[in-house]
Amino acid sequence: MERDVHTLYNEWRRNAVEDPDVARELAAIEGKEDEIFDRFYQSLTFGTAGLRGVIGAGTNRMNIYTVNQATQGLADFLNSTYEEPSVAIAYDSRIKSEDFARSAAGVLAANGIKVHIYKELMPTPMLSFAVRELECQSGIIITASHNPSQYNGYKCYDPEGYQMTDESAAKTYDFISKVDLFTGVRRMSFEEGLEKGLIEYIDDDVIEEFYSRVLTCQITPGVCSKADLSVIYTPLNGTGNKPVREILRRIGQTNVRVVPQQELPDGKFPTCPYPNPEIKQVFECGIEMSREEPADLLLATDPDCDRVGIAVKDHGEYHLMSGNEVGAMLLDYILKNRTEKGSLPVNPVAVKSIVTSDLIDRIAEHYHCEVRHLLTGFKYIGEFITQLEKTDEDDRFIFGMEESYGYLCGTHARDKDAVVASMLICEMAAYYKLQGKTLVQVMNELYDRHGMYLSRLLNFAFEGAAGMEKMQGIMELLRREHPEEIAGRRIVFSADYDSGVCTDYRTGSHSGTNLPRSNVLSYKLEDRSGVIVRPSGTEPKIKVYITAVAPDRAQAEAVADALERDIKAKMNIE
């Protein structure tokens, strides 16, 4: 292994001269065994989430060489599958995002594939939209979503506008594996591709059509112009700045102030090194800004604008609301108003990931709406919408969500969309403000009606090769030990999504998950609480999702504490 690593390192020293940043980094790590090993002990894995990794030199890093290799493999896959394929490309504000996008465009053009690329950085949902609108056979977005600034990523899309499914990703990876990084990539400069008409900028009409489609998702049009809702918005130095502000302006939400330090694109994310709308730090600048002039709502979209988080002014303090809570309120708001207006379709259906709160099921049940439970990954929701569309039933789709702050209303995109979600959140806040309620009060009413469902997410990081081994060992331990209870609460139902087997311990019966295989273990407890364990698909960590169900918040917190202690012990995590 050591010999191979050094062979790769020396090969890169000879050949990786085009990018001066990569060349400098390679020179700087000469003789540093640990540094060399970390960059070359593996290649970035291409899966349904594409590539994601730290920006830098080596096969285990994001750089133009690994991006071009992946793009050549994608080109080979597309040319073997379609007669005249085309690809849409977008990119976010991250370091080297535009460089990677232009380089990928040049590789595709050199392979005779037509490229449609946005003129400037654009949100992920607008890439999803462009793939379908321009009838492309694939799409690429350069982004690492909410990861820290040293990361970047490369995501590929199917012709239907959702991220590649397992089958397409596996076929693409087979082609990528055959591409030599330095000698196997066909290249054309971006400028030459433009001159030859193989690369074209996406027309503004496509952007306008996206806005039009989003606006059709309004539930109570005109409410924002009546409520005088005050909003402080932060795009977290990412792609949401123009489209979110534009869509809010169009629905009459004019009282919007933007956090100046986080307004313009900046891949270093200077005020929030971890630009994730799930954490309080991203709201600190907005909260500071509110001291001069308070706002009813703080709104934050992540750098590629597919996820959105909020903080709500309640009794003088800003209360951060979880992804589960925002999703629950949005679903209730949509179903309530569409029921009252008589606009609900026959057999309405909402879709959520398996790790999203069961409170969604209770709310949907209240309005006689079906809920589908799918694996984590919004591509599965996008795939479900497409299946509905093919049988002319796409009007049944009401709402899709993941607890990690991703939402979709409408069928214009097949990925989570913080543009439409920001619009609906502001509309919902305005609607309830006219009734004298904050969103915190609305959420408490939902808890009073359906019970307290307290969600808690635990993240356990495992870096490097040893970390990957440890993660695998933890999952194997849980499967081997087969726990019968967690924190003294009997497990009444379990699902192993890797084996595809569900077990009902009350009856002793077994059934299938009827979902693709995934390394996830789920446990339902006798008090309706639950624990789900899964390795992250995009980061070196194991995630544990705890749901504590109790009559009130204090009791739910106690249950969550007990479940957290015991599942950590069962996983041998201190």
Residues catalogued as catalytic: 145
SS (H, E, C) 410-452: CCCCCCCCHHHHHHHHHHHHHHHHCCCCCHHHHHHHHHHHHCE
Can you tell me the distance from the alpha carbon of 157 to that of 160, in angstroms, rounded to the nearest whole number?
8
∠ CA 352-215-298, nearest 5°, is 70
Can you tell me the distance from the alpha carbon of 14 to that of 283, in angstroms, rounded to the nearest whole number?
46
The enclosing H or E element of 394 equals none
Burial class (CB in 10 A: 0-12, 13-18, 19+), 320: middle
Whether 119 contacts 202, CB under 8 Å:
yes
Can you tell me the distance from the alpha carbon of 417 to that of 414, in angstroms, rounded to the nearest whole number?
9
Three-class SS state of 154:
strand
Three-class SS state of 550:
strand
Which of 468, 460, 487 shows the shortest CA–CA distance to 544?
A: 460
The enclosing H or E element of 393 equals none
Can you tell me the distance from the alpha carbon of 381 to that of 402, in angstroms, rounded to the nearest whole number?
10
Measured from the Cβ of residue 414, the count of other Cβ atoms closer than 10 Å reads: 28
Q: CA of 378: how far to CAs of 125, 142, 159, 416, 471, in Å?
A: 11, 17, 15, 7, 23
Can you tell me the distance from the alpha carbon of 485 to that of 569, in angstroms, rounded to the nearest whole number?
12
Q: Which two tokens stand for residue 315?
A: 């009794």
Can you tell me the distance from the alpha carbon of 65 to that of 72, in angstroms, rounded to the nearest whole number?
10
Can you tell me the distance from the alpha carbon of 222 to that of 525, in angstroms, rounded to the nearest whole number?
44
CA 95, 97, 102, 105 dihedral sign is positive
Measured from the Cβ of residue 14, the count of other Cβ atoms closer than 10 Å reads: 9
Can you tell me the distance from the alpha carbon of 547 to that of 338, in angstroms, rounded to the nearest whole number?
29
